[in-house]
Structure 1
Amino acid sequence: MRKILMYAVLATISLAACKKDQSSTQPAGEVKADWTSDNSTNNYTSKAYSPYTVFNNVWGSGYGYQSIWANNGNNWGIWSNHPNTSGIKSYPNSERKVQRLLSSLNSLTSHYDVTVPADGSWGADYDVWTNNDKYEIMLWMNYRGNVGPIASAYPNGVAQINVANKSVGGHTWNIYKGPVNANGKQVFSFLRTSNSLVGDVNIKDIMNYLRNDLQWIGNETIDRVQFGFEVTSTAGGRDHRVNNYTVSFN
């Protein structure tokens, strides 16, 4: 009886060690998910969880492997192994359509709660798009490594801050105005002055600040709100998880 029990214990230890070893090279093996996919055959797989849609969205030059899992549009994550080179490799995200004129919105808010790795190069960011993608408003909630905003000027190789330490939308930001590209799109980047893992952001207040105070935009139609991870490097494999994400408007 003691021998059988000893074998059972050893088997349990061996299985646990095997799982631990596997998790160091494979994506989130113990995550129970409604949907999983990866970029081995398609870089742009997606799953609709009305009113959200989750996208894997691997698009940058020199990308590596990336898998995605989701239980719904509010709880999802990725495991990625992108090489330690410059340039964005992917932006996996969850998106909610808004498609309302800014002036017609009484409120537009979002909640985020993420788990991120301690190394690599990436950002946990919102992308707020106006109609026809004329403007892209990026809200950098948490970021590390070799990443930075698109900006109009880079004196001495450093992005120029247009507005420093501005408190709006429930957070304090450094704000960068990017150039208009060949397609007529302009990027405005709000980089939080300290990293955050969980919180709420008042997106309407930020859009009104862009319109009324900075006068960088007009009374635009807010097309969609995305939140996800802009990944540059996760060499060796890293997890990013969205524990909870919501977008609300009326």
Structure 2
Amino acid sequence: MRHAHIHLIIAALFATGLFAAPAQAAPVLCEKFGSATVQNGRYVVINNVWGADTAQCIDVNQNGGFAVTQAAHNKATNGAPASYPAIYAGCHYANCSTGSGLPMQAGSSSFNSLRTSVSMTYPSSGVWDAAYDIWFDPTPRTDGQNTGAEVMIWLNKQGSIQPVGSQVGTATLAGGTWQVWQGNIGWNVISYVRTSATSSLDFTINTFYADAISRGYAQRSWYLTSVQAGFEPWVGGAGLAVNSFSFGSGGGQTDSTPPSVPGNPSASGTTSNSTTLSWGASSDNVGVSGYDVLRATGDTFTRVGGGTGTSYTDSGLSPATTYRYRIRARDAAGNLSSESATVTVTTQQGGGGGGGCAVTPTTQTTWNNGYVIQPVTVTNRGTSALSSWTVTFALPSGHTITGMWNASYTVSGGTVTVRSNGALGPNASTSFGYQATRPNGNTQVPTGYTCA
């Protein structure tokens, strides 16, 4: 089982003063929900023993960190952790730092420049993870439980533990490769687990949040409420330490280094009205946040789409027309790479006596983690019979087709290719259908259907 990371700190307890923060910063915190400010209130350090009654003490570093000096935890690894001792900027159950500028809407111009860094020390014993916990809410909340998204960034872990939900993919972000996990426990939990452990990290918040948005788990309209860095111990925990932590606009550093030039693009699956482009990944000193697809029919290239992956299907093209494409990469600080080499694509002639074919999908039903699309109607708009037809569409990240009827299909790089089981007469129609699963809380269905 996967642990449910739920910070069950009840705001009413703070309001009554039972768990109120001490008036002055204390060098050692042993109270379950004890807290202290550091750097004149710029950050808050919390003991936060929310999942157990065992002892835990942390030694607060006024320079901006803490060390776990005592931890008597011994929890089963198939459940929730004992605690989350952390340092943070922003607000956590009405306990707010000063000068953070949070809450801040993720769609604001200031959000893209928000940067954070951390340096940690790990013991060789115990069962724990070392992770950022970054919270988003649909409202500018300063108290209570956030209900938008919880973005966890695991720098390291020890023992047989894993995040909420299930793995839905991988990502290359902030100079590392990460497993991407997603689950829903009343809000979306999106966890990034580094495939090679690190003791330090420096990144823009948008690096990971943009990836979560692209997967359908978060929204630009939501508000960042807190940025926390700490540890989730199940067993032991003494020796875990945050040596330094920073948060702010630029985080004291400015990223002015653009990503490398994307690898040469290529085109495949070209029809009368679409083509699929693929290219080699770029690298960046912090992390590539996405790619822009540029298209030209004359001398000027303009952006027509993009995303976080290294492929893109451009649809709505004209038959028998030549297009040129280039790719550029971007990072979370807004730096753009140089444009890639050019690939030239000529779409096919319209089939079926000049009429071609058309495809119309219908969503029959959806549920929390799946859906049925039927009928997907394919129509020969021409005056001549089609000996065969092909329909392509994009399958969102984390989605899997579990069955298809009245047609055969293949999946490559997130693109589904459906092929006919027979000919289609002039002005005639046929249909197929399919069922698919998707991650809990993801409301996407496939888009970008094209027919050739």
The answer to whether the superposition gives a TM-score over 0.5 is: yes
Please tell me whether residue 43 in structure 1 is matched to residue 36 in structure 2: no
Code of the residue aligned with 2:83 in structure 1: it is S
* Cα deviation, residue 176, structure 1: 0.7
1:150 to 157, 164, 187: 164
What pairs up with 1:85-164 in 2 under 5 angstroms? 85-86=75-76, 87-97=80-90, 98-104=102-108, 105-131=111-137, 132=141, 133-134=146-147, 135-151=149-165, 160-164=166-170
* Cα deviation, residue 47, structure 1: 0.6
Give secondary structure in 2 for the equivalent of 1:44. coil
Code of the residue aligned with 2:225 in structure 1: it is D
* Cα deviation, residue 249, structure 1: 2.4
Could you list the per-position Cα deviations for residues 46-80 of structure 1 after superposition, in whole angstroms to 9, with x for gaps in the alignment?
A: 0122221000111213x422111112262211123
Code of the residue aligned with 2:28 in structure 1: it is S
* Cα deviation, residue 81, structure 1: 2.6
More helix by share: 1
Please tell me whether residue 65 in structure 1 is matched to residue 66 in structure 2: no
User: Which residue pairs with 2:183 in the alignment?
Assistant: 178
**Number of aligned residue pairs:** 199
What pairs up with 1:202-241 in 2 under 5 angstroms? 202-211=204-213, 213-219=214-220, 220-234=222-236, 238-241=238-241
Code of the residue aligned with 2:75 in structure 1: it is T
Q: Kindly report structure 1 stretches of 4+ aligned residues shifted beyond 2 Å.
A: 34-39, 80-85
Asked if 2 retains the 8 angstrom alpha-carbon contact of 1:38 and 1:65, the reply is no
* Cα deviation, residue 142, structure 1: 1.1
Asked if 2 retains the 8 angstrom alpha-carbon contact of 1:119 and 1:145, the reply is no
Whole-Å separation in 2 of the counterparts to 1:76 and 1:174: 28
Q: 1:73 to 1:245 in 2, by over 3 A?
A: same
Asked if 2 retains the 8 angstrom alpha-carbon contact of 1:117 and 1:239, the reply is yes
Asked if 1 retains the 8 angstrom alpha-carbon contact of 2:27 and 2:61, the reply is no
Please tell me whether residue 169 in structure 1 is matched to residue 174 in structure 2: yes
Asked if 2 retains the 8 angstrom alpha-carbon contact of 1:54 and 1:73, the reply is no
* Worse-superposed segment, 166-175 or 70-79: 70-79
Whole-Å separation in 2 of the counterparts to 1:228 and 1:240: 9
Asked if 2 retains the 8 angstrom alpha-carbon contact of 1:92 and 1:230, the reply is yes
* Cα deviation, residue 143, structure 1: 0.9
* Cα deviation, residue 169, structure 1: 3.2
Give secondary structure in 1 for the equivalent of 2:112. coil
Code of the residue aligned with 1:89 in structure 2: it is A
User: Which residue pairs with 2:249 in the alignment?
Assistant: 249
Could you list the per-position Cα deviations for residues 211-245 of structure 1 after superposition, in whole angstroms to 9, with x for gaps in the alignment?
A: 2x2122111111110000111111xx721111111
Please tell me whether residue 79 in structure 1 is matched to residue 80 in structure 2: no
Asked if 2 retains the 8 angstrom alpha-carbon contact of 1:91 and 1:230, the reply is yes
Amino-acid identity (%): 27
* Cα deviation, residue 118, structure 1: 0.9
Q: Which 5+ residue runs of structure 2 have no aligned equivalent?
A: 1-24, 91-101, 251-452
Give secondary structure in 2 for the equivalent of 1:209. helix
TM score, norm. by length of structure 2: 0.42
Whole-Å separation in 2 of the counterparts to 1:188 and 1:100: 19
Code of the residue aligned with 1:186 in structure 2: it is N
Whole-Å separation in 1 of the counterparts to 2:224 and 2:62: 23
Whole-Å separation in 1 of the counterparts to 2:176 and 2:204: 9
Whole-Å separation in 2 of the counterparts to 1:187 and 1:59: 18
Give secondary structure in 2 for the equivalent of 1:206. helix
* Cα deviation, residue 171, structure 1: 2.6
Asked if 2 retains the 8 angstrom alpha-carbon contact of 1:53 and 1:73, the reply is no
Give secondary structure in 1 for the equivalent of 2:107. helix
User: Which residue pairs with 1:31 in the alignment?
Assistant: none
- Structure whose alpha-carbon radius of gyration is higher: 2
TM score, norm. by length of structure 1: 0.74
Asked if 1 retains the 8 angstrom alpha-carbon contact of 2:112 and 2:205, the reply is no
Whole-Å separation in 1 of the counterparts to 2:204 and 2:112: 11
Could you list the per-position Cα deviations for residues 80-136 of structure 1 after superposition, in whole angstroms to 9, with x for gaps in the alignment?
A: 333433141110001101311112113122111111101210111100001251211
Alignment RMSD, CA only?
A: 1.8
Code of the residue aligned with 2:192 in structure 1: it is F
Give secondary structure in 2 for the equivalent of 1:106. helix
Asked if 1 retains the 8 angstrom alpha-carbon contact of 2:75 and 2:234, the reply is yes
Whole-Å separation in 2 of the counterparts to 1:91 and 1:72: 19
Whole-Å separation in 1 of the counterparts to 2:61 and 2:198: 23
Q: 1:101 to 1:227 in 2, by over 3 A?
A: same
Give secondary structure in 1 for the equivalent of 2:167. coil
* Worse-superposed segment, 128-137 or 117-126: 128-137
Asked if 2 retains the 8 angstrom alpha-carbon contact of 1:53 and 1:94, the reply is yes
Whole-Å separation in 1 of the counterparts to 2:63 and 2:83: 18
